[in-house]
Amino acid sequence: MSLDVPAELLAAAQEGEVTDEQFAECVRTSLPYAWQLVSQLSTRLLVEGGSFADNTTPPASEAERGQLLRALASDAIRGCLERYFGVRLAFQNCHRVAVFPAAEGQPGMESGAYRRFVSTREQLLNQSPELRDC
């Protein structure tokens, strides 16, 4: 199960739409490692600037790795994180996550740094035997 959904939030979803704030709180409490990592990277991008901020440190445990995978594999959760933090997320493997400034305008307006990060070439260059089963 990806999220620990409180009964009140489940009831609200059964009645109709829930707000991004309600969903974000559920994500924050259910996937604290993933939330904290995206938060730290978003803050680093804001403070230090640059074209992106990324993480290259593997999660300390399988539980943390699982949180990260669940957060980034779900379109709804990933979209919520992007909207909440005002960034575009990119993901190469079990720990190489990057945040980019949110693209202005329409899809396809991503930065060159984003397009490079999500390219086939960069995916191949980011591989190593240690990460084979991550």
Count other C-beta atoms under 10 Å from residue 100's C-beta: 24
**How many domains, in total, are found in the chain?**
1
Domain membership of residue 126 (yes or no) is: yes
Domain membership of residue 86 (yes or no) is: yes
Per residue in 74-130, pLDDT (tens digit) is 989 999 999 999 999 988 876 688 998 886 544 445 667 767 665 556 656 665 555
Res. 132: pLDDT tops 60: no
Domain membership of residue 91 (yes or no) is: yes
pLDDT at res. 92: 81
pLDDT at res. 91: 86
Sign of CA dihedral 105, 108, 109, 111: positive
pLDDT at res. 108: 46
Domain membership of residue 1 (yes or no) is: no
Per residue in 7-65, pLDDT (tens digit) is 999 899 999 889 999 999 999 999 999 999 999 999 999 999 889 999 988 899 999 99
Domain membership of residue 2 (yes or no) is: no
Domain membership of residue 54 (yes or no) is: yes
CA 11 to chain centre: 26
Per the structure, the complete domain to which residue 69 belongs is given by 7-131
Give the CA distances from residue 8 to residues 15, 27, 44, in Å, rounded to whole numbers and listed in that order.
11, 15, 34
Contacts with 89 (C-beta within 8 Å, 6 or more apart), sequence order: 38, 72, 78, 81, 82, 97, 98, 99, 100
Burial class (CB in 10 A: 0-12, 13-18, 19+), 33: middle
Percent of residues, the chain, with pLDDT higher than 90: 54
pLDDT at res. 111: 66
pLDDT at res. 93: 72
State the Cα–Cα distance between residues 27 and 3, nearest whole angstrom: 7
Contacts with 36 (C-beta within 8 Å, 6 or more apart), sequence order: none
